[in-house]
Amino acid sequence: MPLSVAVAGASGYAGGELLRLLAAHPDLELTTVTAHSNAGQLLGDVQPHLRSLAGLRLAETTPETLAGADVVFLALPHGQSGAVTAQLPDDVVVVDCGADHRLADPAAWQRFYGGDFFGAWDYGLPELLIDGGSGKQRRNLAGSTRIAAPGCNASAVTLALAPALAAGAVASQDLVAVLAVGTSGAGKSVKPHLLASEIAGSAAPYGVGGTHRHIPEIQQNLVAAGATGPTLSFTPVLVPMSRGILATATASLAPGVSARDVRDAYESAYGGEPFVQLLPDGAFPRSGDTTGANTALIGIAVDEAANRLVAICAIDNLVKGTAGAAIQSLNIALGLEETTALPVNGVAP
């Protein structure tokens, strides 16, 4: 018998992507959808592309409404999940797609987010190398009832750099990441800088100078992979595409490390992974290659002149970056096949 599922924040981009993927999940039945300003409306009026779910009506987001489900997904702005999750029963499996339960360090939360600190849950990036590279995060997700889905930018940069750091192939300091990011990462609320006339034909950096909220999450992940005191220069750039991330990360090579050593590290880390795929020598991903899929595609090179690793990772920010990672982690937690309902083939053109 399928488990019942509730999705809070179902009217947003992340919530809509959760619904799209959950609609094809054979072991889960979507029974409750909630929203804030759109409460009372039919889902089909708010998410018209979700035809099979169009007749569901959005309810108010309250703990009481959500508590009746076996599984609850929260796709709410940061600072809004914690108050809800604190009132959900312990026997409900909860997956938070927001930031409220990602960080283990209260000081980092206060610096980058502020407000109440709700504590860290099991981190929902199964392929994350942990214990200095000797294990992977999926082992901590088995049987979990509280899961924090990762940030989309954090996933891309983490997956790009973690194998090299775990292998000691690069230095932990002077890590640099520049990302091209689609506009859906900023949410569905109307914002002047996201209007078509503002973003079309233009690229705009944001969160510059060490201020982006995903920085401490990336550093936390890289420490788990084996980095020591990692320093990261992180610059996302908003580009005129609706979804997708292309992260270019570089790091200084450790003495005596060859290009073959680097590739061996990535092949060892990701060989056999269903969703994280290392491309052949000389091949690099495009963001569009992952549109609609739960894949992370990675290309690597060694810049001999600069003595730096260059790792390029492409993901769909709404799938592998958010909803797909959430469902993948839930599958593991419930003991289901990890790949259930998650596509590896993208959509093109």
Number of domains within the chain: 2
Q: Would you say residue 75 lies in a domain?
A: yes
330, 326, 338, 340: which is closest to 9 by C-alpha?
326
Tens-digit pLDDT profile for residues 163-217: 999 999 999 999 999 999 999 988 887 788 888 888 899 999 999 999 999 999 9
In order along its 349 residues, the chain shows pLDDT tens digits of 899 999 999 999 999 999 999 999 999 999 999 999 999 999 999 999 999 999 999 999 999 999 999 999 999 998 899 999 999 999 999 999 999 999 999 999 999 999 999 999 999 999 999 999 999 999 999 999 999 999 999 999 999 999 999 999 999 999 999 999 999 988 887 788 888 888 899 999 999 999 999 999 999 999 999 999 999 999 999 999 999 999 999 999 999 999 999 999 999 999 999 999 999 999 999 999 999 999 999 999 999 999 999 999 999 999 999 999 999 999 999 999 999 999 999 999 8
Residue 249 within a domain: yes
* For the chain, the helix, strand and coil percentages under 3-state DSSP, each to the nearest 5: 30, 25, 45
Residues 125 and 194 both lie in one domain: no
Tokens at residue 217, please? 């999450």
Instruction: Determine contact, residues 282/302, Cβ cutoff 8 Å.
Output: no
As a residue count, the chain comes to: 349
**Residue among 249, 235, 259 at smallest CA distance from 307:** 259
Residue 97 annotated to the active site: no
Determine how many CB atoms are found less than 10 A away from the CB of residue 256. Answer: 7
Domain harbouring 122, CATH code: 3.40.50.720
pTM across the whole model: 0.97
Residue 347 lies in a domain: no
Does the residue 272 lie in any domain? yes
> Do residues 292 and 347 lie in contact, with contact meaning Cβ atoms separated by under 8 Å?
yes
**253 and 304 both lie in a single domain:** yes
Comparing CA positions, the residue from 246, 332, 251 lying closest to residue 297 is 246
207 lies in the same domain as 221: yes
The whole domain housing 253 covers: 153-317
Distance CA 332, CA 324 (A): 12
- Whether residue 127 is contained in a domain is answered as yes
pLDDT at site 195: 86
Same domain as 294, residue 325:
no
Pairing of the two strands 276-278 and 232-238: unpaired
311 and 176 part of one domain: yes
Name the catalytic one among 69, 128, 152, 199: 152
Of 21, 121, 39, the C-alpha closest to 322 is: 21
The pLDDT value given to residue 325: 98
Closest residue by Cα to residue 95 from 72, 63, 127: 72
Cβ-based neighbour number of residue 69 at 10 Å:
22
161 and 232 both lie in a single domain: yes
* 176 and 144 in a common domain: no
Q: Are 153 and 247 in contact (CB under 8 A)?
A: yes
- Determine, yes or no, domain membership for 69: yes
Regarding whether 167 and 310 lie in a shared domain, the answer is yes
| pLDDT attached to residue 197 | 87
Angle at 148 between CA 334 and CA 2, to 5 degrees: 30
In this structure, is residue 348 part of a structural domain? no
CB count within 10 Å of CB 217 equals 26
26/109 same-domain check: yes
Question: Helix 152-166 to helix 259-270 angle, to the nearest 10 degrees?
Answer: 120
Six token digits for residue 273? 């992974």
Rounded to an integer, what distance in angstroms lies between the CA atom of residue 247 and that of residue 259? 20
The pLDDT assigned to 138 comes to 98
The H-or-E segment that residue 146 falls in is strand 146-148
Same domain, 181 and 295: yes
Residues 175 and 122 placed together within one structural domain of the fold: no
Residues 215 and 134 placed together within one structural domain of the fold: no
Answer whether residue 84 is part of any domain: yes
Task: State how far the Cα of 289 lies from the Cα of 313, in Å rounded to an integer.
Answer: 11
CB 74 within 8 A of CB 8: yes
CATH code, domain carrying 190:
3.30.360.10
Question: Is 7 exposed, middle or buried, given 0-12, 13-18 or 19+ CB atoms closer than 10 A?
Answer: buried
